[in-house]
Amino acid sequence: MSTLGAGLLIGLLSGVHAASWGMYKDAPHEGFERKKFLRSVILGGAIAPIAAQLMGLDPTTPSGAVLLFGVAYVVERLIAEVYKTFLRESDQSKYAIPMQLAVLGRPIESRAVRVLLGAAYSVALLGLMILVHRYLKQAGPVSPVMVALVGSIGGWVSAFGGAWKDAPFEGFQPLKFLRSPLLAAGWALLLAQLSTDMVVVALAAIGYTIATTESYKTFLFPSRARGKFAGKPVEFPEILRKRNRVVPVYLGIWVAVLLMLAEGVRRG
């Protein structure tokens, strides 16, 4: 398979993976929307070939494929979350926890203010990535401790964002807060065996952290509503049965990724 074809395939699979857990959890409450499901798939397919080119990843190798899957995953999720938080206009009353940007649980109604804050947030993330890259380029070889610290950065961003959104409604939960940084650090230590580029490793690590967390929350507790739908009725009960069709595909992608990871580590 060509590099472009492999990158496209990996991106599509990352999008299917993310769309599957999203549909599994949300569709019973808000119905199945094909365009919403395909949005992640199309975005993943578009992101991965570009990311492979920019980051020098070869998706025809096990190591490159594993890293690219994680990078495409996190970039697609970031775009989706920025859109939902800062740009999208939707009725927030259907959620137990607002999905739009909120302060102390109260959504910011002004779209102009949200767009401005979203731009500032995006620039800050890009600036952080550039600073980390420049620092590590000067620092030379990094120790396992540094790998874990750098790898956890995305987890801390996710943890603070989650606490900002959820804590006004659920209270601050220390274990939940630490979950993403610790998972991201662990994934970074594993993925660092595939690449010395710590920006790539850190991005892929947070991608796999999202995939791991959502797999745990979605499929180990299938009857538990997501926080944003806590206490809300199941409006589409027929989907509770139909949604199981995505599970074999979802698990199959996980198995393929883990097998490639094992092969990448074996090759060193």
Residues 183, 188, 193, 194, CA torsion sign: positive
Percent of the chain with pLDDT over 90: 69
Dist. CA 205–CA 208, nearest whole Å: 5
Dist. CA 119–CA 104, nearest whole Å: 21
pTM of the model: 0.93
> What pLDDT score does 217 carry?
86
What pLDDT digit, counting tens, does each position of 26-64 carry?
A: 999 989 989 989 999 999 999 999 999 999 999 999 999
Low-confidence ranges of the chain (pLDDT < 50): none
> What pLDDT score does 152 carry?
95
